[in-house]
Amino acid sequence: VALVGGGPGDPELITVQGKRLLAHADVVVADRLAPRELLEDLPAHVEVVDAAKIPYGRAATQEFINQTLIDRAKEGKFVVRLKGGDPYVFGRGFEELLACAEAGIPVTVVPGVTSAFGVPALAGVPVTHRGVAHEVVVVSGHVAPDDPRSLVDWSAIARLKGTVVLMMAVERAGAFAAALMEGRPGSTPVAVIQEGSTASQRVFRSTLDSLAADMEKWEVRPPAIIVVGPVAGIASANS
């Protein structure tokens, strides 16, 4: 099994190694956010298991994916698990590696361009910039700031001066903005990038105190990256 990071969506943003392994696959198990255009180039004999089309919800889906990787590999097939971005950035890639390892199946990991950094770059937002931001933190918005399951120290994140990249945060953008405003001014610049690197990419600029209302107005839908911090306020010719 090869766990391949496919990058944020543009089929040209997969690595050379990822593309080479994909060309040798007997089976491709593709994520919803993987670069879908790459699937169109696969030879007809390649079995494509499309995770976007697997029913029964998230947990059952992960179990099904793990089992599919194991079953096909045990049949002697070379399986490429094509994931969006980087396999280990909120991608559950390590869970898949552990499941394969437990079943005695060797796994090759091919890192990918994570949307956390690649998507802002394509929208003209550098996640660090000399003299502006000397730190960048990537935070999952999968659970709300006040959720007891949260593993994020929001009071520490709110005190940062640099860049905070929020992923999976569209639904609760207002709650995250409020948590960040406990430590940062409401005027802190924010950039929101929806479907980065694809033909449907949309880029918006806001501030922490207007973020929730602006995102509602713009009807931002996942997948989107929210970049908070002074880097989001730097204008350049291509942003």
Ligand X SMILES: C[S@@+](CC[C@H](N)C(=O)[O-])C[C@H]1O[C@@H](n2cnc3c(N)ncnc32)[C@H](O)[C@@H]1O
Active-site residues, by number, are 31, 53, 168
Contact status: 85 vs ligand X (CB under 6 A): yes
Least distance in angstroms from the C-beta of 194 to ligand X: 6
User: Which positions from 21 through 40 interact with ligand X, judged by CB under 6 A?
Assistant: 33
- Our CB check for ligand X shows the closer of 77 and 92 to be 92
Contact status: 114 vs ligand X (CB under 6 A): yes
In this structure, the number of other CB atoms found within 10 A of the CB of residue 200 comes to 10
Helix (H/G/I), strand (E/B), else coil: 67: helix
Q: Which of 38, 86, 96, 178 binds ligand X (CB under 6 A)?
A: 86
Contact status: 215 vs ligand X (CB under 6 A): no
Q: Which of 35, 126, 223, 229 binds ligand X (CB under 6 A)?
A: 223
Query: Which residue's CB atom is positioned nearest to ligand X?
Result: 85
Contact status: 143 vs ligand X (CB under 6 A): no
Amino acid at 227: V
Report CA-CA distances (Å) from 220 to 60, 159, 173, 211: 28, 27, 10, 11
Sheet holding 47-50, edge to edge: 47-50, 27-30, 79-83, 2-5, 108-110
Nearest Cα to 176, choosing from 196, 200, 201, 154? 154
User: Which positions from 152 through 211 interact with ligand X, judged by CB under 6 A?
Assistant: 167-168, 193, 195-197
Helix (H/G/I), strand (E/B), else coil: 139: strand
Contact status: 227 vs ligand X (CB under 6 A): no
Q: What are phi and psi of 166, to 5 degrees?
A: -100, 130
Contact status: 9 vs ligand X (CB under 6 A): yes
Binding site for ligand X (CB under 6 A): 8-9, 33, 84-86, 89-91, 114-116, 119, 167-168, 193, 195-197, 222-225
